[in-house]
Structure 1
Amino acid sequence: MDSNLKASLKTLHSELASTPGPVDEELQDLLQQLDGDIRQLLERRIEQENAGGEDTTTYGLAERTQEISAKFAVKHPTLEPALRELGRILGNMGI
Structure 2
Amino acid sequence: MDNNLKESLRNLHRSLANAGPVDEELQELLRQLDEDIRQLLEQRAADTEEATTTYGLAERTQEISARFAARHPSLEPTLRELGRILGNMGI
Shift of 1:16: 0.3
Contact 2:15/2:75, CA 8 A, preserved across alignment = yes
**Is there any run of 5+ residues in structure 1 with no aligned partner, and where?**
none
> Partner of 2:44 in structure 1?
45
Describe the superposition over 1:47-81 as per-residue Cα deviations: whole angstroms up to 9, x where unpaired: 3x3x5x47463131000000000000011011000
TM-score under structure 2 length normalisation = 0.89
1:33 corresponds to which residue? Answer: 32
- Larger radius of gyration, structure 1 or 2? 1
TM-score normalised by structure 1 residue count: 0.86
Contact 1:4 1:89 in 2 (8 A): yes
Counterpart of 1:91? 87
Same amino acid, percent of matched pairs: 75
Q: State the AA in 1 paired with 2:37.
A: I
Using the alignment, how far apart are the partners of 1:46 and 1:6 within structure 2?
A: 12
Alignment of 1:1-95 (within 5 A): 2-19=2-19, 21-47=20-46, 49=47, 53=49, 55=51, 57-95=53-91
How many residues are aligned here? Answer: 91
Q: What is the distance in 2 between the residues matched to 1:54 and 1:86?
A: 24
SS for the counterpart of 1:59 is coil
